Chain A
Amino acid sequence: MIELILSFLKLGAVSYGGGWTIVGLIRTEVLGKGWLDESRFRDLVAIAQVTPGPVALNAATLVGREVGGYLGAVLATLSVVTVPILASLALGALISRLGPRGNRFREALRSGTFGLLAMTVWAFAPEAARDPFTAGLALGAFGLAAFTKVNPVLLILGAGALKLLASFFLA
């Protein structure tokens, strides 16, 4: 349980670049520690996506629940938000007033964030796009999300619905 707390504290501290990078980091941590296997983790991420609320928090709650029951769910969720909340308490006012030095600070974080996003794509691509159909869904989602303003929720639900339809015709 201590290990669960420490892991999620650490993940909360590096959670730059939005929810998906946190999910990528959670994956590395959880598979590395042998807490869950890949297919179980895949289910949890898919469920985290289709339940309301920030995906990263949902994923943390679900993983905590699987690893340590209800107590694990509470501890993982609180741990992952501890550093962000403390950081915004301690530094929030300061950062809002940094001015030009704030730009330097933000720019310094961007290369690392680029790395986190790239790592997340790399980690999820082989599992998510396991056959030509799911690869097509992934590519389609990229195209629509990168070049249009379509709501990501529609992409998530739409891809689920398409795969469901396909399972009737192809299976």
Chain B
Amino acid sequence: MQASRPPSPWRLFLFFARISAVTLGGGYVLVPVIARGLERKGWMDEKEFFSLFGAAQSLPGPIGLNAALFAGRALSGLPGLLASALGVLVPPFAAILLVSGVIGVVAAQKQARAFLDGAFAVVPGLVAALLWRMTRTRAWNPGRVALALAAAAAMILAPAWAPAIFFAAAAVGWFVESPGTKA
């Protein structure tokens, strides 16, 4: 918005498509790449991007996608939002459809199997690291501790109910938090 000439939806599409096409590792890798890219283009400085990103995290959705949606809208309104969404979605979708035909063949190879097993082994480690970082940076109080542990226990015991438990925890949290809460 503060940019004198907002980028066209087409340029936003290309910008996000290029990032999405070459970035492995998902949202936590995409987000810093997007932040640097927007700044380099002179469309948005990092500080503004990360304040949008904070808001983007309070809506559901893959983090990389949400970051693109919010940045696209801030720069070029509704067409910008839709162009950014398509930019994030199209390249990986196309890549996956290309490889999906050969997954069975590849997974049956012993070496490919070993590589995929190794790549998969880090998943719980990476998620645990996210959990750790969130645990360390949150301002805890007894109510938050109790609610977070209760939500975790309930979801582990009844994973099929996780969506309902998530919204229940958010509703309880809203009433437990005082109106002047600092994040």
Q: Which of A's residues lie within 8 Å of B, judged by CB? A: 10-25, 28-29, 32, 42-58, 61-62, 65-66, 70, 73, 77, 81, 83-85, 87-89, 91-93, 95-96, 98, 100-125, 127-129, 134-135, 137-143, 145-146, 151-153, 155-157, 159-164, 166-167, 171
Known contacts A110-B144, A120-B127, A157-B119; A84 and B25 CB within 8 A of each other? no
User: Chain B contacts of A32 at CB under 8 A?
Assistant: 160
A-contact bits for B98-119, CB 8 A (1 contact / 0 none): 0110010001001100111111
Stretch from B5-13, B36-44, B145-153 at the A interface: B145-153
Q: Do the beta carbons of B126 and A152 come within 8 Å of each other?
A: yes
Q: Do the beta carbons of A115 and B62 come within 8 Å of each other?
A: no
A29–B160 alpha-carbon span in the complex (Å)? 7
The residue that B60 contacts in the complex, of A42, A83, A124, with Cβ under 8 A, is A83
A53–B20 alpha-carbon span in the complex (Å)? 5
A13–B135 alpha-carbon span in the complex (Å)? 23
Instruction: Report B146-183 residues with CB < 8 Å from chain A CB.
Output: 147-148, 151-152, 154-156, 159-160, 162-163, 165-167, 169-174, 176-183
A117–B132 alpha-carbon span in the complex (Å)? 10
Does residue B134 face the partner (Cβ distance < 8 Å to A)? yes
Q: Do the beta carbons of B116 and A46 come within 8 Å of each other?
A: yes
Which residue, B55, B127, B138, B162, has most C-beta atoms of chain A within 10 A? B127
CB distance from A41 to the nearest CB of B (A): 10
Does residue B3 face the partner (Cβ distance < 8 Å to A)? no
Which residue, B121, B173, B181, has most C-beta atoms of chain A within 10 A? B121
Q: Do the beta carbons of B177 and A159 come within 8 Å of each other?
A: no
Q: Do the beta carbons of A58 and B173 come within 8 Å of each other?
A: no
Q: Do the beta carbons of B126 and A142 come within 8 Å of each other?
A: yes
What number of A-B contacts does a CB cutoff of 8 Å give?
A: 378
A135–B139 alpha-carbon span in the complex (Å)? 31
The residue that B121 contacts in the complex, of A66, A113, A118, A137, with Cβ under 8 A, is A137
Q: Do the beta carbons of B118 and A162 come within 8 Å of each other?
A: yes
Q: Do the beta carbons of B138 and A110 come within 8 Å of each other?
A: yes
A109–B159 alpha-carbon span in the complex (Å)? 18
Q: Do the beta carbons of A161 and B116 come within 8 Å of each other?
A: no
Closest to A170 in B: B114
User: 5 nearest interchain CB pairs?
Assistant: A53-B92, A163-B118, A84-B61, A141-B125, A115-B151
The residue that B128 contacts in the complex, of A146, A152, A156, with Cβ under 8 A, is A146
Closest to B85 in A: A85
A21–B165 alpha-carbon span in the complex (Å)? 14
Closest to B69 in A: A88
User: Chain A contacts of B30 at CB under 8 A?
Assistant: 54
Does residue B81 face the partner (Cβ distance < 8 Å to A)? yes
Q: Do the beta carbons of A61 and B166 come within 8 Å of each other?
A: no
User: Chain A contacts of B89 at CB under 8 A?
Assistant: 57, 77, 81
Known contacts A100-B179, A114-B131, A115-B155; A161 and B118 CB within 8 A of each other? yes
The residue that B25 contacts in the complex, of A49, A65, A98, A166, with Cβ under 8 A, is A49
Q: Do the beta carbons of A61 and B130 come within 8 Å of each other?
A: no
Q: Do the beta carbons of B180 and A100 come within 8 Å of each other?
A: yes
A128–B118 alpha-carbon span in the complex (Å)? 8
Known contacts A61-B97, A92-B59, A100-B181; 9 additional CB pairs below 8 A are A15-B62, A42-B116, A58-B96, A88-B56, A102-B183, A106-B183, A117-B131, A135-B121, A145-B129
